[in-house]
Amino acid sequence: MKLCVIGTGYVGLVAGTCFAESGNDVICVDIDAEKIERLNRGEVPIYEPGLEELIRRNVAEGRLFFTTDLAEAVRRSLLCFIAVGTPQSDDGSADLGAVIRVAAEIAEAMDGYRVIVTKSTVPVGTSERIRQVIASRTKHPFDVVSNPEFLKEGAAIEDFMKPDRVVIGTDSPRARALLQELYEPFVRTEQPILFMSPASAEMTKYCANSMLAARISLMNEFANLCEKVGANIDDVRRGVGFDRRIGQHFLFPGVGYGGSCFPKDVKAVIRTAEQYGLDFRMLRAAEEVNVRQKRLLVDKVMEHFGEYLRGMRFAVWGLSFKPRTDDMREAPSITIIEALLRANAEVHAHDPEALGEARKIFGDRIHYHRVNYDALRGADALLIVTEWNEFRRPDFDRMKQLMKHPVIFDGRNIYDPEDMQARGFIYYSVGRRPVKP
């Protein structure tokens, strides 16, 4: 099948590459000429495990192409996927400017029947807006489909190639048949393709992300309560996770959620509800909890050292909002580091993949280290913000030798408190009692 994917951000690049991997001819389009040149040279602008190898193989085998020429891509494709960004507007709603502009350009380039598929996360009613825009600019037949993505950064290739489910919103039998043919190679293990109305598909994406965000915030609230009453959130998590009605996923406490989806989508749902006269109180509370949770480690630092941190040196391990990505959008590390800098502390940061992104945010206000141990030299304390696997089994003796004080603030609970006590560390975590040697 011949298709184009417009937008080579995270969603578009992963989707286009995986479609090509299953044998389709795919043209990826972007207005950023420099990015397209880099992709044509085999340089991938984002870090996602396995993506670079797939891109190079499919380019070499002639199934994957990159261009800035949207009109030509549309003329050579039957299916046109819209995967451009929908950033947050000042009022919290999703900015659909790029989506609508792309829809108009597709309409003007069409020379026959096309299926326009929305991959971008968009509010309910966007498919109808796209239909109206295209109908006003072309006499050719077309169908509009909503096909939200449910990829986890760091595991996106696996998620796309072996999805839990594929959600397709369309009222057209013709478009339904084409999308079913396209996705059948990805659901050979009997995972479902769920067909529904475009509005239901659009709502499904927002509902899924909102429920996960609320779950994270609720567990963080329980973690904070556990610290107050002397309970252990790890025991509580296991105690509720074996309940089949609840399950094990998204029960780990921490320093809040970040990334390109949860924060933006929660705000967009709240704004959509307002437009229909509804007050989404649960999501407002989840958002407020998350904002507060991002300051948790700094509050613990100030409780331990005092509010005046001038001249103190803090090591930070983990900058991306989650492991296995370089994405720092809405990352808790930004809130934490900015708070330390406002307190006139010195920050030495390490992340396996996100140092380049961090430089765009902090510039020369902090120090960057490619080796995690180098960030510890002379540090008054270590703050662990992202649970990269390489942080789980470090050389603790080496850490103690490098640090000025053996103090760790663990925002992801990756160490055992009793073990840290035995090793001679002062150790603070989330939802568990602090320990001292």
Per-residue pLDDT, averaged over 336-364, amounts to 98
Predicted local distance difference test score (pLDDT) of residue 190: 81
Q: CA 386: distance to chain centroid?
A: 13
The rounded percent of the chain whose pLDDT value lies above 70 is: 100
Burial of 340 (0-12, 13-18, 19+ CB in 10 A): buried
Q: Does the structure show a pLDDT above 90 at 251?
A: yes
Q: Do 111 and 140 contact (CB within 8 A), yes or no?
A: yes
∠ at Cα 91 (85, 93), nearest 5°? 40
Question: Does domain 205-292 fall into CATH 1.10.1040.10?
Answer: yes
Q: What is the dihedral of CA 158, 36, 178, 144, to 10 degrees?
A: 110
* pLDDT tens sequence across 11-24: 999 999 999 999 99
Per-residue pLDDT, averaged over 406-421, amounts to 98
Predicted local distance difference test score (pLDDT) of residue 259: 93
Predicted local distance difference test score (pLDDT) of residue 3: 98
Which residues does 143 contact at the CB level (< 8 Å), separation at least 6?
A: 114, 115, 116, 170, 172, 174, 175
Question: Hey, what are 293's tokens?
Answer: 């949770």
Predicted local distance difference test score (pLDDT) of residue 243: 96
- pLDDT level of residue 90 (50, 70, 90 thresholds): confident
Per-residue pLDDT, averaged over 85-95, amounts to 90
Per-residue pLDDT, averaged over 332-352, amounts to 98
pTM (2 d.p.): 0.91
Annotated catalytic residue 226 = no
Can you give the length of the chain in residues?
A: 437
| DSSP tag of 90 | T
Q: Does the structure show a pLDDT above 90 at 189?
A: no
Question: Does domain 294-428 fall into CATH 3.30.70.920?
Answer: no
Q: Do 428 and 304 contact (CB within 8 A), yes or no?
A: yes
Spatial distance between the Cα atoms of 346 and 348, rounded to a whole number of angstroms: 7
Give the residue ranges of DSSP H helices in 230-307: 233-241, 262-275, 281-293, 296-305
Catalytic member of 4, 18, 226, 261 = 261
**Tokens 């005046």 found at:** 308
- In the three-class reduction of DSSP (H, G, I as helix; E, B as strand; rest coil), residue 384 is classed as strand
Q: Do 315 and 408 contact (CB within 8 A), yes or no?
A: no
Q: Does the structure show a pLDDT above 90 at 316?
A: yes
Question: Does domain 2-196 fall into CATH 3.40.50.720?
Answer: yes
Spatial distance between the Cα atoms of 427 and 417, rounded to a whole number of angstroms: 7
Spatial distance between the Cα atoms of 217 and 202, rounded to a whole number of angstroms: 23
Spatial distance between the Cα atoms of 286 and 210, rounded to a whole number of angstroms: 9
Per-residue pLDDT, averaged over 135-147, amounts to 98
Q: CA 152: distance to chain centroid?
A: 6
| DSSP tag of 314 | E
Spatial distance between the Cα atoms of 264 and 387, rounded to a whole number of angstroms: 22
| Intrachain domains 2-196 and 205-292 with the same fold | no
| DSSP tag of 88 | B
Strand-by-strand arrangement of the 166-169 sheet:
64-67, 25-29, 2-6, 79-82, 114-118, 142-146, 166-169, 193-196
Q: Does the structure show a pLDDT above 90 at 41?
A: no
Distance between first and last Cα of the chain: 64
Where do the structural domains in the chain lie, given as residue ranges?
2-196, 205-292, 294-428
Q: Does the structure show a pLDDT above 90 at 32?
A: yes
Q: At what angle do helices 281-293 and 262-275 cross, to 10 degrees?
A: 150
Q: Does the structure show a pLDDT above 90 at 42?
A: no
Question: Hey, what are 313's tokens?
Answer: 């040196």
- In the three-class reduction of DSSP (H, G, I as helix; E, B as strand; rest coil), residue 335 is classed as helix
- pLDDT level of residue 330 (50, 70, 90 thresholds): very high
Taking all residues of the chain, what is their mean pLDDT, rounded to a whole number? 96
